[in-house]
Amino acid sequence: MIVIAGMSCHFPGADGLAAFWKLIKANQSAISDPPPHRSEFIRVADELQIPVRGGYIAHENTFDADRFHIPEREALWMDPQQKLVLTHACNALEDAGLTVDALKGSRTGVFVGAMANDLAYLQFGDVARIEGVNVIGNGLCMIANRLSYELDLHGPSMTIDTACSSSLVAAHYAVRALRDFECDVAVVAGGNVILSTMLQKFYQLIGVGSPDGNCRSFSQHANGIGRAEGVGVLVLCREQDLPVSGRRRAYAAIGGSQVNHGGLTSRFTAPSIQAQVALLRQTYAQASIQPHEIAYVEGHGTGTRQGDLMEIKALQEVFQGRELACPLGAVKSLINHTEAASGMAGLIKVALMLHHEQIPASTYADSPAALLDASSPVQLIPDARSLRPHRAHHMGVSAFGLGGTNAHAVLASHRVA
């Protein structure tokens, strides 16, 4: 059994696990205007008439370069995603009861989900100014490779880009690496930082951007994607390898995970109901459970009309025949879409739910999408629920990439024998 031994995160309105759980329980939106000091970003967005409300985090001037022996000039040009992953990976390892010194030379793997680097886009516009530190500090592969280098980790090290499913796909391959004994510990991370309006403009051009910058997942008022920043890191290991100095009970176990692609659809970026249905069924079969045993689903829920509609239809097909409807939610309704890090946001949310044995109320339960009527086998729930203690509970987490790569995972309660 693969378990989540440690975690760390910084999402909008929530720097750390305790703050994130507090925000989730309170069902509190963290959407805001961008910080005033990002004046150039705001100016360009205003000129292009691009909405900039979103989920932002304070990441500037928080990186301790001396801790990692990184020269000041090199740190200046480093992708903020590298800095966030380095910092929170160390926090997550500490949370798991592991020390950086003890892991030196170990078969620890690093699996990162990332899809965009706004700093590189801004830096590389002037080729004459490019230096070696720009390249080292800004390749997506370097997010994972830098962590392996700085901590002297000798397991697999890779950055995976499948757009919005990147970090859940990274977790899937980390689980496989642990099961295949390619590594003994796996650090899984996803990050996203907004420094450019490029993706906002892209979303606007293809008709999926929210005009007011808010994700309203599975709501009748959904009007598109609102963007967000964030970072999340998990430390995974085999159950028998849980650190003696850490907690005896892990946050959760990973019962199964699967990845597939939608193949040929009506257009390149259109999702496939059939692929999502197959994905969930394959994941539940791998976890040796039936759909009626799922206590909650953390949906992808980008808040686009077509995306939410097709996801709901897929869930209804998988969960049809349930005696009690399955609760449905999406953390994007609180923090917006963290893109490559969204799988981490979902995994950490569900791990905390299992750890605290609670299902929080669904955002927009008072205005659900039309398909989520009283007969639907999946429902947004208006009130929080407690899970029955001392029972095994299973929950699903979905992440779907714009290019068609889908991922789903089952998390389960971890019980100490």
Catalytic residue among 10, 88, 300, 394: 300
Question: d(Cα 177, Cα 189) in Å, to the nearest integer?
Answer: 15
Among this protein's residues, is 337 annotated catalytic? yes
Of 9, 59, 88, 164, the active-site residue reads: 164
Active site (annotated) includes residue 90: no
Of 10, 59, 172, 337, which one is the catalytic site residue?
337
Residue 306 near residue 411 (C-beta atoms within 8 A): no
Hey, which residues are catalytic here?
Answer: 164, 300, 337
